[in-house]
Structure 1
Amino acid sequence: MYAFLSIIENAMKDSKVDRAVGLCKKIVGSFSHSWKRSRDLAEAQKELKLPMHKLKTECSTRWGSRQAMVQRILEQLPAISHVLSPDRKARHLIPMWQDVEVLEAINSTLTPLVDFTDALSGEQYVSISSVKPVLHLFETSVLAVGNDDTEFTKSLKSKILGYLQEKYSDSKTQDLLDMATTLDPRFKMSYIREEVKPTVRARLMDEMTGLNPAKQCAPSSAPEPPKKARKTLGSFFKAAKDREESDPAVTHEQAALLELESYLLTRLIDSEDDPLTWWREHAGIYPRLSVLARKYLGIPATSSPSERLFSTGGNIVTCQRSSLKPQHVDRLVFLAKNL
């Protein structure tokens, strides 16, 4: 799966954006490397009654840092101009109106995406089933062109949407997203096109008929039955039911179809509920579908959590601790992520 973070960054590759972002980095560098300018910036903030905030810079490995840098530059632009205007050597760093227009477009485009991407790639687990609903929200609201948007803002939004659509246009990726979204009780087929729904139903039926729910749902460590178990009246009914289900092959297909139709007819759960918890509670009602849910909903939406785990491991296994044994590294990483 492609991470939303890298997709959005690649979609914003533009000469105007590169120039404006590069100018912001130079401004931040000029103030961070000069204590006099930092002092003058603080005095200008007091004089102009601006928030006493320090400038931020972009970090290539941290999502949202570009938007944070641009937003802080726009916030402190009067104070920055006040400090740099008397300095002939640094006067060229003051953004021109064209640069300000580009920075405002970047800020207005990226600000709504920050919360979405933070939620999608956060520490809390997010399944792949959320990808299609998020793409739908991007197209209909978050990245929808507004009446007050400038031409450059419209261009940025259209580039990001076009890039997203291109990245997820592969047929295999679409099939995977359709199956995962359908098996999510928060969405089901709400975000699947009408002409694709019969195909998704057929794929679900094919996978369900190939499963044996009795074996799939049986506990791995079942307690041993007593040596002399006394038969009850219910055991006779259960044995008769097992014979009826195991005899004709059509019965198994009918049971799978009824299970699928029953699941699709139930109401959607709240969007804040955990779909994995819901399937754990309803595994007995939908034994075949619950197996497929474990298969598809176990795929994370982005690779960000695993990348954070690698970063944690890199912080632990340093040059001074290169002799750590693998099992000790595993334990230290576990403690670092769970304490």
Structure 2
Amino acid sequence: MKSIHALYETEKGKKEAALAQAEYVALTGDHWTSVSNTNYLGVTAHLITKAWELQSFALTIMKTEERHFAEACAEQFQTVACKWEIERKVTTIGTDSARNMIAAARILPYEHMPCIAHVIQRSITVSLADSGFVPALAKCRKIVGHFKHSPANVTELNAEQVKLGQQQEPLIQDVPTRWNSTLEMVKRIIPNQAAIKATLDQQQHNLVMLTPAEWDKLQRLETLLEPCRYVTQILGGEAYVSCSVVLPALCHLHRVMETSDEDPAYMIRFKTKFKDDLGSRQEHTNNAWLKIATALDPRFKDLKSVPKADREEVWTKLGGLLRESPGRPSHTTEDGPPKKKMNLLLQLGSDSESDEEVQPDRALHRYRAEPTIEMTDCPLQWWSSHAGAHDKLAPLARKYLATPASSVPCERLFSLAGHIVQKKRSALLSENVDKLPHAAVFYWLMPLH
């Protein structure tokens, strides 16, 4: 225990030093219940260092005893920010779209970033319930359950897989709360169609096999869900910039969900419902923040993922943020207006602007004139080599690009905590539950998988 406490203090000191040097810090947070029925709040921090490196680490797994009302949630986030002395540096708080979290975000003085991965998964669930895939998926679940609940059935399935020259692999059961599990179930059952049929032909069962038309539906469903899985995984990363990828990723999903004349009616129904539901949910995300982040990413600064009518508004907003930046000199002093302003007052009838007013426009013009970089390039590396030429925009890039696109970092934190608070360790003190993830050195050095 002494070693754990000493390691905790060491890692805590590293994090305090990183937070003290950071200009802006983004947070993600969510609640979690342990096997001992104890509630915890997990919070992670995300920042871009002066060397243009993205850092992500855990701040706390704090035991909570209050009901998760909005006021209590907001107070808990404020407590964590004050404890780490970052209440004036926090820019955004990323959470899921639960009502209490949305209400808590309204109370807090920070921007709210709803988890985009949750948004996509909710749209998938709604679209599946309103499509023609439900009967085929129900049969899939019963077939998979038939093998998952019997070791003897699994052995016979493996024998058939060997006969057919296939790899021995278990079937996957989908779980409503596990993202992309429906896709994984479909991707595993389709190539094992022959092995499953051969195994069931040797057994007595009351299962109803899928028809050829239903197998075809599953293959079409795989093509629909694969882009969603791809986008979810991209937005769930924390070792790279993800906030600026949201709008291009959602634009990609809208594009792949376009209907065609070759689509059967059930696919058209799924695509239409998905686009409508995703569009309505996207309206309740922090679009203003996402647009600025996209503009500050040299990969996407052409704003092709933003409607043409809104693109100039984004640059106007960014210019306003430059004028409001804290590093800019004040227009007034205790002794009165600056001399430059006084000289301008003498130029009656002149429409010219001061250098301070023109500078943000010049900075934006220089940045917009820069060529976009490749999708595979790192935007932080670009900013590292161009920060001097765009020194006025660089602080805003650190601020907006540090925000994660999802609350997945908290999910990874809960996975780590779940390995710590097992049934055999259910009596572990809450303060030690908070310290152990910090003491795990690998969590400080790399994202959890």
Fold equivalence (TM over 0.5): yes
Aligned residue runs from structure 1 range 235-314, under 5 A:
250-314=354-418
The alpha carbon displacement at 1:271 in A equals: 1.6
**Aligned partners of 1:287, 1:244: CA distance in 2, in Å?**
23
- Opposite residue 128 of structure 2, the aligned amino acid is M
- Opposite residue 222 of structure 2, the aligned amino acid is N
Q: How many residue pairs get matched? A: 310
Aligned residue runs from structure 1 range 166-245, under 5 A:
166-170=280-284, 173-191=286-304, 192-213=306-327
Aligned residue runs from structure 1 range 1-339, under 5 A:
1=114, 2-3=116-117, 4-14=120-130, 16-90=132-206, 92-140=207-255, 142-145=256-259, 148-170=262-284, 173-191=286-304, 192-213=306-327, 250-318=354-422, 320=425, 322-323=428-429, 325=432, 328-336=435-443, 338=445
- Specify whether residues 328 and 86 from structure 1 end up closer, same or farther in structure 2 by C-alpha distance, changes over 3 A only: closer
Q: Which runs of 4+ in 1 moved over 6 A?
A: 242-249
Question: What is residue 233 of structure 1 aligned with on the other side?
Answer: none
The alpha carbon displacement at 1:258 in A equals: 0.4
- Opposite residue 295 of structure 2, the aligned amino acid is T
- Specify whether residues 13 and 35 from structure 1 end up closer, same or farther in structure 2 by C-alpha distance, changes over 3 A only: same
User: Over alpha carbons, which structure has the higher Rg?
Assistant: 1
The alpha carbon displacement at 1:306 in A equals: 2.3
The alpha carbon displacement at 1:243 in A equals: 9.0
Q: Which has the higher contact order (CA 8 A, sep 6+)?
A: 2
**Aligned partners of 1:279, 1:60: CA distance in 2, in Å?**
40
* 1:310 partner SS: helix
The alpha carbon displacement at 1:11 in A equals: 3.2
Deviations 1:46-70 (A, max 9, x none): 4444443321222344323211211
Alpha-carbon contact 1:84-1:94 (below 8 Å) kept: no
- Opposite residue 221 of structure 2, the aligned amino acid is I
Alpha-carbon contact 1:121-1:302 (below 8 Å) kept: yes
Deviations 1:38-93 (A, max 9, x none): 23323333444444332122234432321121122121122222222354433x33
Moved more, 119-128 or 179-188: 119-128
- The sequence identity of aligned pairs, in percent, is 29
The alpha carbon displacement at 1:263 in A equals: 0.5
Alpha-carbon contact 1:105-1:152 (below 8 Å) kept: no
The alpha carbon displacement at 1:16 in A equals: 4.1
Unaligned runs of 5+ in 2: 1-113, 330-337, 345-352
- Specify whether residues 133 and 286 from structure 1 end up closer, same or farther in structure 2 by C-alpha distance, changes over 3 A only: same
Unaligned runs of 5+ in 1: 216-241
* 2:354 partner SS: helix
The alpha carbon displacement at 1:34 in A equals: 2.6
* 2:372 partner SS: coil
- Specify whether residues 247 and 338 from structure 1 end up closer, same or farther in structure 2 by C-alpha distance, changes over 3 A only: farther
- Specify whether residues 107 and 327 from structure 1 end up closer, same or farther in structure 2 by C-alpha distance, changes over 3 A only: closer
TM-score for both structures, normalised by structure 2: 0.61
* 2:129 partner SS: coil
TM-score for both structures, normalised by structure 1: 0.79
**Aligned partners of 1:245, 1:85: CA distance in 2, in Å?**
90
* 1:195 partner SS: helix
Alpha-carbon contact 2:131-2:270 (below 8 Å) kept: no
Alpha-carbon contact 1:312-1:333 (below 8 Å) kept: no
Alpha-carbon contact 1:208-1:289 (below 8 Å) kept: yes
**Aligned partners of 2:263, 2:434: CA distance in 1, in Å?**
54
The alpha carbon displacement at 1:304 in A equals: 1.3
Alpha-carbon contact 1:245-1:252 (below 8 Å) kept: no
**Aligned partners of 1:136, 1:246: CA distance in 2, in Å?**
49
Structure ranking higher in helix proportion: 1
**Aligned partners of 2:440, 2:169: CA distance in 1, in Å?**
34
- Specify whether residues 250 and 56 from structure 1 end up closer, same or farther in structure 2 by C-alpha distance, changes over 3 A only: same
**Aligned partners of 2:238, 2:140: CA distance in 1, in Å?**
30
- Specify whether residues 330 and 131 from structure 1 end up closer, same or farther in structure 2 by C-alpha distance, changes over 3 A only: same
**Aligned partners of 1:333, 1:143: CA distance in 2, in Å?**
42
Deviations 1:230-264 (A, max 9, x none): xxxxxxxxxxxx99799978211111110011101
